[in-house]
Amino acid sequence: MKFHEILKKSRLPTYEVEFILQELLGVPRHNLYEVDIPPGVYRSFLSLAEKRRQGFPLQYLLGVAYFYGLKLKIVPGVFIPRPETEILVEEAIKRIKKGDTVLDVGSGSGAISLAIASKRECFVDGIDISSLAIAISGENKRDLMEQGVLKGMVSFILGDFLSFGNSGRQRTYDVIVSNPPYIDFRRRDDLPEDVKKEPPVALFAADGGNFFYERLFDIAHSLTKRSGCLLVELPGEKERTSQIDLLARQCGWRKLKVVEDLNSRDRVLVLKKSKKE
Ligand SMILES: C[S@@+](CC[C@H](N)C(=O)[O-])C[C@H]1O[C@@H](n2cnc3c(N)ncnc32)[C@H](O)[C@@H]1O
């Protein structure tokens, strides 16, 4: 069977059919259109496509996600890294020099930490409250180390960042990055079915979605070196950006810039440490 026949019958978007067949066949995307797809692979495809139509994220079905050119292992219960977050990595890398210390708050699968360490000889600590996320990020780190992809040193720490400031840890950081939980709890019923399959601890925050930002800005201030930077992912709504920027200012951060994504939505807030008001 050929790719275009499967695509026609699948009732799935082209890029999803490509993603599934690429993983099942282990061939690059540009070869998919030529190869003969064996009946066994087609049967596996049909069963995955059915689950996908029921709202299961493809990354959970296939056990992989691609982020910043890295292939990462993903399982249900761990947040799926998003392409928009690559903008955060891009901005962070511009500010990280050889030997710098970096903290990734809410490291999940390890996507941001590992992407940074694939480009810079720095020291990255990733902290996450989920033991499953820490286990998967550890596996991803091992795989990438084996492939010789990492230039920096990465440690993943299981813990609640919100009590990190009280933990007596002395290390301070040149750069702190975070893609925190930022969806307002009250909007959980409006979410697409596949997002509802992701872990609530990775998605939701109290206070209209701003609770984690507020705590992050406060705690990160004491963990950052003088003139250090903090980069956070934004929800993408202008009104939320203004609220989050105000919270940052109140905690002693100065806005350097807001970076938009390809859909012109505010996606990354870059902050520099200044004095607390
Ligand atoms: C939106 S996900 C981001 C994951 C990853 N950084 C990424 O961009 O793909 C937020 C992460 O924060 C973690 N998290 C939530 N509350 C936390 C807390 N109090 N302390 C540490 N991590 C927390 C969640 O487990 C989740 O992995």
Question: How does pLDDT run across 187-199, given as a tens digit for each residue?
Answer: 999 999 999 999 9
| Nearest Cα residue to atom 2 of ligand 1 | 202
What is residue 102's predicted lDDT score, i.e. its pLDDT? Answer: 98
pLDDT at site 191: 95
Closest CA to ligand 1's atom 13: 106
Cβ(137) – ligand 1 distance below 6 Å: no
Question: What's the pLDDT at 167?
Answer: 59
| Ligand 1 atom 14 nearest Cα | 106
Whose CA is closest to 98, among 51, 28, 146, 153? Answer: 153
- Closest CA to ligand 1's atom 27: 108
Which residues are annotated as catalytic? 79, 179-180
Ligand 1 close to Cβ of residue 202 (< 6 A): yes
- Within the chain, all domains assigned CATH 3.40.50.150 are found at 77-273
**Regions of the chain where pLDDT drops below 70:** 165-170, 277
pLDDT score of 39: 94
Cα distances (angstroms) measured from residue 211 to each of 82, 102, 129: 22, 23, 16
Q: How far apart are the CA of 45 and the centre of ligand 1, in A?
A: 31
Question: What was the pLDDT predicted at 164?
Answer: 76
Residue 119 is predicted with a pLDDT of: 98
Per DSSP, what are the bridge partners of residue 276? none
CA 186, distance to chain mean position in Å, is 23
Summarize pLDDT for 204-250 with one digit per residue, the tens. 999 999 999 999 999 999 999 998 999 999 999 999 999 999 999 99
Give the domain 77-273 fold: Rossmann fold (3.40.50)
93 lines ligand 1 (CB under 6 A): no
110, 136 in Cβ contact below 8 A? Answer: yes
pLDDT for 36 equals: 92
What is the token pair recorded at 138?
């550890």
Is 179 near ligand 1, meaning CB less than 6 Å away?
A: yes
Name the CA radius of gyration of the chain, rounded: 20
Task: Please list, in sequence order, all residues whose beta carbon lies within 8 angstroms of the beta carbon of residue 197, skipping any fewer than 6 positions away.
Answer: 55, 56, 57, 60, 76
Q: Which atom of ligand 1 is nearest to the CA of 82?
A: 9
Q: Is the CB of 113 within 6 Å of ligand 1? A: no
Q: What is the pLDDT of residue 153?
A: 98
144 C-alpha to ligand 1 centroid (Å): 21
Measure the CA–CA gap between 153 and 171, rounded to whole angstroms: 15
